[in-house]
Amino acid sequence: MLELPLKGTGAAPETARVEVALLDPADRLKRAGMGLVAGLAVAVIALPIPIVHLIMVPGGLIIGVALALRRLGQSETFRGAAGRCPYCGADQRFTLVGRFRLPKTVYCASCQRELYLDEGQA
């Protein structure tokens, strides 16, 4: 669990608690395999469809391999974040997915403003 500043343009930053998952090599390999299987599934489903298979089969294979390679390189992923909106003060939980990379853009569920999770002091 990390504490990062939740910033908004023109507002004083608030502190957000961010959950990060550290992926061991077995988890990374499992996630990469799921990405590869998804691409293969697209290719197999498109195979019997005339004309469409000319694009979807190679596309599914390329996307599956690219997704697998990308997931193999991810050692940390977001699990979620919780904090108070610097504009309206609403406490909320933010749904975050994907690679742990900052800054990360999130949106307030109450006032719909754009917020940023960033490095540095809260």
In whole numbers, what is the pLDDT of the chain averaged over residues?
A: 89
Beta bridge partners of 92: 83
Give the whole-angstrom CA distance, residue 70 versus residue 23: 13
pLDDT in tens, 9-41: 888 888 889 888 898 999 999 999 999 999 999
Question: Is the pLDDT confidence value at 122 over 70?
Answer: no
Amino acid at residue number 68: A
| Residue 104: how many other CB atoms lie within 10 Å | 19
Q: Which pLDDT does position 59 carry in this prediction?
A: 95
Give the whole-angstrom CA distance, residue 44 versus residue 26: 27
Give the whole-angstrom CA distance, residue 49 versus residue 29: 31
Q: Which pLDDT does position 10 carry in this prediction?
A: 83
Domain assignments of the chain as residue spans, ordered by start: 1-21+77-122, 24-73
The gap from C-alpha 84 to its chain's centroid, in whole angstroms, comes to 21
pLDDT in tens, 76-99: 888 888 889 888 888 899 888 778
Q: What does pTM read for this prediction?
A: 0.66
Give the whole-angstrom CA distance, residue 87 versus residue 115: 9
Q: Which pLDDT does position 41 carry in this prediction?
A: 96
CB distance 68 to 81 below 8 Å: no
Mean pLDDT of 59-67: 95
Alpha-helical (H) ranges within the chain are 25-46, 53-72
